[in-house]
Amino acid sequence: MSRLIRTLTLLLTLSLLLASCRPQTAGRRPQADGGQPTAPSPTLTLSPSPTPTEIPQPSLESLGLTAEIQQMFTRQGWQIKWDSQNARYTISQRAFDEATQKFTSQKTHEVGYIDLEGNLHTRLTRFSATENPDGTWTDTSTTQDLVIPLINQNASNPEPATWNLPTWNLIETKNPAFEKTGILTLTYLDENGIPQTVTYNRELNFLEIPEISTDLLHPTPIPIEAVHSLAALQFILLRYGEGEPFPTDNFPGWSLQFYYESNGTKQAILWPRSGETSRYIRFIGENDFNIPWFMIVLPDGTAYPSAPVEIFNPKDPQNPADGNEKLLLFPVFLGKMSYPQRYFFNLQYLKPTEFNALFKQRILTLAQEGGYFSKTNIGKWTDFYNPSSLDSLLGMEGNDVKTQLWEQSNGGYANISGNLGYLEQLNEKNKLLETAAMRYMLPPALEKLVLVISP
């Protein structure tokens, strides 16, 4: 009996010893009566979130923009800013304040961007249009994305690669529209290795410079936006330059003449007070008769032939000192003209020996009522000029300048038409009204709204 008790005591001691040697499991719950053992809960381990590695900002010089080019961009009103999120430099155009003649901090649009490989990404527009059989035009302009390398991509053979690098040029001009910044052009090699030169326009971005036609039958088509944004003016200045200065001696000043013609047409014209239009109004390319012809295409497909002219526009008409103070305007010629009409007009009139005789008066018609040349008769082609073409100020662009303010000699302002009713005052008994146009002859706002009719 005692031996049995000792055996039981030894077994109990061994069981307690073995129990004390078993490893303890974290989270072990007591099992229920008659139930199965509960599996241990896993331990949750949190890993720290990885810190994003910010790409270091490269210098603009390392991406191909020298300090000189950066200064050129600043004069053009470009803002170049590092975009850390997308790892690139964005290029934006800042707005221009006409009153202060300075660029503001407000951005108008994004021009493009420069990636980390030194490539300029931007957009290029090519103006084009085709003439339809009915005399209307269809806009066929195209816009494409353009990628231009700014740095040498071929380190092992650097010499040939330099031919792919673009050339930036800032062409300074005395024209009032660009006297602050000049015209920015970019020359690069296209995919076929052919040099292409484009010009930058604040409103339209990069534009391909078109071949300017001197043939009225096949004029260079451009949309009306190219006139309002001054892109067409850039094309002319890059192709023909500034031209000779105007004579400053005995400049008579300009006047606006509102007159009533015998056929009932009321007109407002720009006229040198001495009547010497040939001294102060001239066609581009007039000396060699290679006059550039444009076809200005409106959104509805109607189009108007135009040959740009220069006019003398001194800042101080009473004491003009610089003959290079001038404006370049795009007058609309003869209303809408189809190809056959341009052909007969070209056949009969646009010969060098007759050029001066045809345009000797060089009257710039700013406004007209009652149709345009509605009683014209050229040989058997009666009403050769479309009488429904009307004019720019009062018809073609929707009467949007009837209340345009015109600066007067006394420092005040008056309306060119509309509220003051210059044209409305004209009749058979009152055939002429005249007002002097002093100081700045044509305010900048007027250029954006007006296509003058015809010299």
Three-state SS string across 81-110, please?
A: EEECCCCEEEEEEEEEECCCCEEEEEEEEE
- Within a domain: 25: no
Confidence class for position 14, pLDDT limits 50, 70, 90: very low
Beta bridge partners of 143: 125
State which residues form the domain around 380. 252-449
**What's residue 160's pLDDT?**
47
Side chain identity at residue 435, one-letter code: T
The verdict on 180 and 274 lying in the same domain is no
Task: Give the DSSP H/E element, type plus range, for residue 347.
Answer: helix 339-348
How do beta strands 309-312 and 281-283 pair?
A: antiparallel
Highest averaged pLDDT of the listed ranges 94-98, 159-163, 175-179, 198-202:
198-202
Distance, in Å, from the CA atom of 326 to the CA atom of 254, rounded to the nearest integer, reads: 13
Task: Report the range out of 15-24, 28-37, 166-175, 405-414 with the highest average pLDDT.
Answer: 166-175
Shared domain check, 405 and 262: yes
Q: Are residues 182 and 279 in the same domain?
A: no
345 and 418 in a single domain? The answer is yes
Residue ranges in 141-268 assigned as alpha helix (H): 158-161, 224-228, 231-240
Instruction: Tell me, yes or no, whether 277 and 365 share the same domain.
Output: yes
* CB-CB contact of 262 with 365 (8 Å): no
Name the domain boundary from 208, 239, 264: 208
Question: Does some domain include residue 54?
Answer: no
Indicate whether 380 pLDDT > 60. Answer: no
On the question of pLDDT at 10 being above 60, the answer is: no
Contacts of 388 (CB under 8 A, 6+ apart): 335, 336, 371
202-215 per-residue burial string, b: 16 or more CB within 10 A, e: under 16 = bebbbbbbbebbee
For strands 88-97 and 102-114, give the pairing. Answer: antiparallel
- Phi, psi dihedrals of residue 417, rounded to the nearest 5°: -160, 180
418 and 317 within one domain = yes
The pLDDT assigned to 9 comes to 52
Return the pLDDT at 453.
52
Report yes or no on 7 lying in a domain: no
pLDDT digit string, tens, across residues 211-224? 999 888 899 999 98
The sheet carrying 309-312 orders its strands as 281-283, 309-312, 326-329
d(Cα 422, Cα 268) in Å, to the nearest integer?
A: 9
Residue 170 inside a domain? The answer is yes
Residues 175 and 318 grouped into a single domain: no
Share of the chain above pLDDT 70, in %: 65
Using pLDDT thresholds of 50, 70 and 90, give the confidence band for residue 164: low
The pLDDT, as a whole number, for residue 119 is 93
Residue 224 belongs to a domain = no
**Number of domains observed in the structure of the chain:** 2
Long-range contact list for 77-84, CB < 8 A, 24+ apart?
Answer: 77/103, 77/181, 77/202, 78/111, 79/107, 80/114, 82/57, 83/113, 84/54, 84/55, 84/57
Do the beta carbons of residue 238 and residue 184 sit within 8 Å? no
What's the pLDDT score for residue 397?
44
Q: Is the pLDDT of residue 407 over 60?
A: no
- Quick check: 115 pLDDT over 90? yes
Mean pLDDT of 301-314: 86
Decide if 33 is inside a domain.
no
Structure tokens at 110: 């994004």
Judge if 69 and 197 occupy the same domain. yes
Please tell me the predicted confidence (pLDDT) of residue 358. Answer: 55
Beta strands in 274-360 (DSSP E): 281-283, 294-297, 303-306, 309-312, 326-329
Please report, rounded to a whole number, the percentage of residues in the chain having pLDDT higher than 90: 27
Q: State residue 416's pLDDT score.
A: 54
Do 199 and 307 lie in a common domain?
no
The pLDDT-based confidence of 31 (bands split at 50, 70, 90) is very low
The DSSP letter of residue 235 is: H
| Domain identity same for 73 and 133 | yes
State the Cα–Cα distance between residues 188 and 197, nearest whole angstrom.
7
Residue 15 covered by a domain: no
Q: Tokens for 287?
A: 């000396």
Tell me, yes or no, whether 34 lies in a domain: no
Contact (CB, 8 A) for 212 and 187:
no
Helix (H) / strand (E) containing 256: strand 254-260
Q: Predicted confidence band at 91 (pLDDT cuts at 50, 70, 90)? A: very high
Residue 356: the pLDDT is 55
Q: Quick one: average pLDDT of 437-441? A: 59
Query: What's the pTM?
Result: 0.74
Domain limit, last residue, from 155, 179, 208: 208
Final residue in a domain of this structure, among 145, 174, 208: 208
Same domain, 186 and 272: no
The predicted pLDDT at position 8 comes to 44
Count each helix (H run) and each strand (E run) in the chain, helices first.
9, 25
419, 312: one domain: yes
pLDDT of residue 352: 59
Q: Are the CB atoms for 202 and 77 separated by under 8 Å?
A: yes
Instruction: Please name the amino acid found at residue 398.
Output: G
